[in-house]
Chain A
Amino acid sequence: MKILNLSSRAVLALVLAASLAVPAWPQTAATPAAYAIKGGKVFTLAGAPIDNGTVIIRDGKIVAVGANIAIPQDAQVIDATGLEVYPGMFDPITQIGLNEVSAVGATVDVSELGDYNPELVAATAVNPASAHIPVTRANGITEVIAAPGTTGFDLQSGGLIAGQASAFNLAGWTIDEMQINRSVAMVINWPTIQTSTFDFASFSVKEKPYADVKKEYDKSVNALSDWLDRARHYAQAKEKGSPALYERDLKLEALVPVVEGKLPVLVIADQERDIRNAVDFCTKKNLKMILGSGAEAWKVKELLKEKKIPVVLAPTNRLPEQEDTPYDKPYTEPSELLAAGIPFAFSSFGTAFSRRLPQYAGTAEAYGLPHDEALKAVMLNAAQIFGLADQLGTLEPGKLANVIATNGDPLELQTQVRYLFIKGQLTSTDDKHRDLYDQYRKRPQPAR
């Protein structure tokens, strides 16, 4: 199953050439009230796969899933015979909507100036018309989180408290229509003790004495601590006093749910020492921590397990942290975390590479991660980590109808997404790339 044999590849190529009759999104007023996806093998991720299963969608939600389900009269039937049906994929750390062309500052709203910006919310500036949205969903990713201040391809991270991350569906006219949860986590870029840094102005590596960077580091952590303490005091004042007794402060107000443990902190850290320090800090401050990136999370397994800290992993396809780290450590890290009982999800940490999400899971599977766990780590786990599993992650009644139908294993490189439902809407897999391809493929031979 994993490997397409060569003759079936040829068949696949022919099938690919055939165009699909999926209506272009957005839909017209004639949108059906309900859909029935029938005939496919349904991977609910909440039980065994269902051969020849049916998924009924109504008003944006899944209403029934099973082998022998009656199809409502008003439902448009989608024939998924020969296809596999899954929950859509979820990329939990991206800059989608905040970053169009990384090198063009005018199109980037990822990192605000200043180190402490807890009041900023990603959803404020998510551009629903971004070309990245159709490109990403065409590869089966139906929802993402945009996280301010996080690094992407060619982007620099910004801010210690970078702002609030927002979860949204990858289709809709406005962010209000797309939004799943405006605030799912507070992004903290954990400061790092780094003696060598690359200086862009001089294109060279700058060395600083350890004592100096340690001092800077301590200063940052103290400041972070101070912000949280002030937020706690602010919350207390707010609870006990009348508004007249304290001055309204947007930054502190934004940190209140964090210190109350209601809003998790998404702490971006890679090196072992930084992860340990961050976990220690969050434990002392009683914060609900999610570790983001975690290149050396494999060195901190016991601690993460003990403190029940989930990890949103940096792309599997990356170089090892240290020169003497095993060459395949980034590839085996997911299966090591699984064995240690640490919940994790895959993520692109990017914009243009969000569509690579299944590739990251597939690579981890090649190096030992079981297939069903690899699927969960791109479909379900992120929803659980960010408290959205009541709405997303499995094909079960009551959940948001973010569903994909593929012509094979969704983690395999050649697999095509045939049908895409976002919030119960049949959504086109066309995008800027397909359009340009179609356009230039038709270009006549130039005259000589």
Chain B
Amino acid sequence: MKRAIFFAALIVTAVAPPVTRAQNPTTIFIQNATVLTVTHGNIEHGSILIRDGKIGAVGADLKAPEGATIIDATGEFVMPGIIDCHSHIAVDGSVNEAGPAVSSMANIADVLNPDDINIYRDLAGGVTTANILHGSANPVGGQTVVIKLRWGKPAADLPFQGALPGIKFALGENPKHSNFPTPPGITPRYPGTRLGVEEVIRQAFIEAREYKKQWDDYNQHKSAGEQNLIPPRRDVRLDPLVEVLEGKRYVHAHCYRADEILMLIRVASEFGFKVRTFQHVLEGYKIADEIAASGAGGSTFSDWWAYKMEAFDAIPYNAALMTERGVITSVNSDDAQEARQLNQEAAKSMKFGGLSANDALKLITLNPAIQLGIDARAGSIDVGKDADLAIYNHDPLSVYAVVQKTLIDGQVYFDRQRDIAQRTTLAVEKQALLDKEKKAAEAQKAEEKKRDENSEKKPDKKPSQKRKPPQNGDSNVSANATVATATAGGTR
């Protein structure tokens, strides 16, 4: 494990510092690209001027200002950086706070891991922003955070400044623990049905409403100048739910079946809040009108289905049908690999349901930006927005498109050519380190042998634990096990 961390650190130092940072240019000029603005059409032979991390100008007739760093994108396509509305990357450890049915006190922002290699991998797939959520073990889950994939920066620099925080809710099979049998000797946790899931959420909001009232009363009296007031006792579990009631925190609700989606719309209406997004929402197409009327968005998969019972009526036409019926719809990954191909996944909605190319692009750019409340800053190529961009060698809606560069805040965080160029150096460095470690282990072995020989004379002294030379792959969890870690307790 130490070795894995060590190599992660190695990659960080070798790949991370964006080349542009060394020169610290404030002006970047991307020229001669097909610019997919998403909001105002495609510009052939277009240019984008970036100033201080923001998009300064977009058009076909721009001239590069003197001193600007030029990125020549002749024959290439520039689109807004991909926004993944459902991700579990950059999380240190387990994604589920398994145990309580209401785990709103847990905040994923507290456990961001900036060294997670999947940040870099997803960046290399054109993703610039991700909504980091807990798993779906609990009806009311933990607090979520929107991050930018600023690979190489510390955890504190990852959050998307100004983005409203969220909270994960979960409905259906996962919170009722249908597919994760309770280990023997342990009492199954309530709820065990969809009926119970509703009750847990309602109960939590009844408590939150009363708690909010206590605070409102207190604040009212306080502002009236009353003395010697005792403030209500802080409840870190209810605080985030009060923020939901006050519209200061978004609800992202994991769900599958039409009935449970309607249930949460009713509960939200009872307590006077709005669900911001229904996540997965695989049966959203069955009740798209109701979702649209509730003001919620739908963040779904392209073509996942049948991995569990509640996903058996999932159809790849879901994104297109919800879009057609007026739901702000996005396609998300829920998976570090799927995030690397979100452009491909979005393109499938052209095949299944006949979305236009621009509407397909919106599924992974503007629409998730709206869902996360960051559309004033991201999701399209418009003047004034953050310069979060992905540059492809082909139309990004083609299976043949490969990301060449990914920019965040106008900085090149991923550059395919640079990545390829660094591989030889990294391989040499890795080998040197392996050799060194092997040598050190051999030296230690010799040392221990010597000590053992000496200790034979003093039998009461125990030999120290021997270190083994590194075995290729020993300390690595297999790919399958890694997948299992990500999905255990349910995230999808």
Q: Do A and B come from one complex?
A: yes
A17 to B356, CA, bound (A): 12
A4 within 8 A of B: yes
A212 to B280, CA, bound (A): 41
A178 to B308, CA, bound (A): 27
Q: Name the contact of B394 in the complex, choosing from A2, A104, A270, A359 (C-beta under 8 A).
A: A2
A210 within 8 A of B: yes
Are A195 and B475 touching (Cβ within 8 A)?
A: yes
A317 within 8 A of B: yes
A412 to B475, CA, bound (A): 39
Are A196 and B476 touching (Cβ within 8 A)?
A: yes
- Interface centre among B312, B473, B480, by most chain A C-beta atoms within 10 angstroms, is B473
Contact with A along B285-329 (1 / 0, CB 8 A): 110011001000000000111111101110111000100100000
Are B293 and A448 touching (Cβ within 8 A)?
A: yes
Q: Which residues of chain B have C-beta atoms less than 8 A from A52's C-beta?
A: none
Are A103 and B400 touching (Cβ within 8 A)?
A: no
A363 within 8 A of B: yes
Give B416 Cβ to nearest chain A Cβ, in Å.
Answer: 8
Contact with A along B1-20 (1 / 0, CB 8 A): 10010011011000000000
Contact with B along A411-434 (1 / 0, CB 8 A): 111111000000000000000111
Q: Which residues of chain A have C-beta atoms less than 8 A from B481's C-beta?
A: 194, 196-198, 205
- Interface centre among A9, A12, A157, by most chain B C-beta atoms within 10 angstroms, is A9
B193 within 8 A of A: no
B479 within 8 A of A: yes
Residue total for B at the interface (Cβ-Cβ under 8 A): 86
Q: Name the contact of A352 in the complex, choosing from B286, B304, B488 (C-beta under 8 A).
A: B304
Q: Name the contact of B488 in the complex, choosing from A157, A203, A210 (C-beta under 8 A).
A: A203
A328 within 8 A of B: yes
Q: Which residues of chain B have C-beta atoms less than 8 A from A328's C-beta?
A: 124
- From residue 7 to 47 of chain A, which have CB atoms closer than 8 A to chain B? 9-10, 12-13, 16-17
Are A411 and B307 touching (Cβ within 8 A)?
A: no
Q: Name the contact of A4 in the complex, choosing from B311, B340, B398 (C-beta under 8 A).
A: B398
Give B480 Cβ to nearest chain A Cβ, in Å.
Answer: 7
Evaluate whether A324 and B430 lie within 8 angstroms (CB atoms) in the complex, with A6-B42, A9-B357, A13-B354 already known: yes
B449 within 8 A of A: no
Chain A, interface residues (CB within 8 Å), range: 35 or more
Are A198 and B307 touching (Cβ within 8 A)?
A: no
B351 within 8 A of A: yes
A282 within 8 A of B: no
A414 to B302, CA, bound (A): 13
Are A2 and B475 touching (Cβ within 8 A)?
A: no
Contact with B along A193-237 (1 / 0, CB 8 A): 111111011111100001000000000000000000000000000
- From residue 317 to 359 of chain B, which have CB atoms closer than 8 A to chain A? 317, 321, 324, 336-338, 340-341, 344, 347-348, 350-357
Are A101 and B307 touching (Cβ within 8 A)?
A: yes
- From residue 224 to 265 of chain A, which have CB atoms closer than 8 A to chain B? none
- From residue 134 to 183 of chain A, which have CB atoms closer than 8 A to chain B? 135, 151, 153-154, 157
Among B25-33, B115-123, B202-210, B223-231, the one that faces the other chain is B115-123
A443 to B487, CA, bound (A): 35
B94 within 8 A of A: yes
B71 within 8 A of A: no
Q: Which residues of chain B have C-beta atoms less than 8 A from A17's C-beta?
A: 354
Q: Which residues of chain B have C-beta atoms less than 8 A from A201's C-beta?
A: 183
Are A323 and B8 touching (Cβ within 8 A)?
A: yes
- Chain A's closest residue to B420 (CB) is A326
Q: Which residues of chain B have C-beta atoms less than 8 A from A73's C-beta?
A: none
Are A323 and B7 touching (Cβ within 8 A)?
A: yes
Q: Name the contact of B473 in the complex, choosing from A271, A324, A352 (C-beta under 8 A).
A: A271
A412 to B355, CA, bound (A): 16
Are B305 and A415 touching (Cβ within 8 A)?
A: no
Are B399 and A412 touching (Cβ within 8 A)?
A: yes
Are B479 and A319 touching (Cβ within 8 A)?
A: yes
Q: Name the contact of A318 in the complex, choosing from B173, B183, B356, B479 (C-beta under 8 A).
A: B479
A284 within 8 A of B: no
Are A359 and B478 touching (Cβ within 8 A)?
A: no
Q: Which residues of chain A have C-beta atoms less than 8 A from B121's C-beta?
A: 319-320, 327
Are B350 and A198 touching (Cβ within 8 A)?
A: no
A203 to B471, CA, bound (A): 26
- Please report whether the interface of chain B is mostly helix, strand, loop or mixed according to DSSP: loop
**What is the count of residue pairs linking A and B with beta-carbon distances less than 8 angstroms?**
208
- Chain B's closest residue to A270 (CB) is B479
A192 to B421, CA, bound (A): 33
A194 to B476, CA, bound (A): 8
A415 to B350, CA, bound (A): 9
A22 to B309, CA, bound (A): 31
Give B463 Cβ to nearest chain A Cβ, in Å.
Answer: 16
- Chain B's closest residue to A448 (CB) is B293
Q: Which residues of chain B have C-beta atoms less than 8 A from A273's C-beta?
A: 472-473
B179 within 8 A of A: yes
Q: Which residues of chain A have C-beta atoms less than 8 A from B312's C-beta?
A: 101, 131
- Chain A's closest residue to B419 (CB) is A327
Are A365 and B351 touching (Cβ within 8 A)?
A: no
Contact with B along A353-397 (1 / 0, CB 8 A): 101101100110111000000000000000000000000000000
A295 within 8 A of B: yes
Are B426 and A324 touching (Cβ within 8 A)?
A: yes
Q: Which residues of chain B have C-beta atoms less than 8 A from A415's C-beta?
A: 351
Q: Which residues of chain B have C-beta atoms less than 8 A from A112's C-beta?
A: none
Q: What are 30 A-B contacts with C-beta separation under 8 Å?
A: A6-B357, A9-B357, A10-B356, A13-B354, A16-B351, A102-B308, A131-B306, A154-B487, A195-B474, A196-B478, A198-B481, A198-B482, A202-B183, A203-B489, A270-B479, A295-B479, A317-B338, A326-B423, A355-B303, A359-B399, A362-B400, A413-B347, A413-B350, A414-B347, A436-B285, A436-B317, A437-B317, A440-B285, A441-B321, A443-B289
Among all A-B residue pairs, the 10 with the closest Cβ atoms? A362-B399, A103-B308, A198-B484, A437-B317, A413-B347, A433-B315, A196-B477, A198-B481, A366-B400, A103-B179
A residues within 8 Å of B by Cβ?
2-4, 6, 9-10, 12-13, 16-17, 100-104, 131-132, 135, 151, 153-154, 157, 192-198, 200-205, 210, 270-273, 295, 317-324, 326-328, 351-353, 355-356, 358-359, 362-363, 365-367, 411-416, 432-434, 436-437, 440-441, 443, 445-446, 448
- 20 further A-B contacts with Cβ under 8 Å, apart from A104-B308, A319-B482, A443-B289, are A6-B357, A100-B306, A103-B179, A132-B306, A135-B305, A157-B480, A193-B474, A203-B488, A205-B481, A205-B485, A271-B478, A273-B472, A317-B337, A323-B7, A323-B8, A324-B10, A324-B11, A365-B399, A440-B285, A448-B293
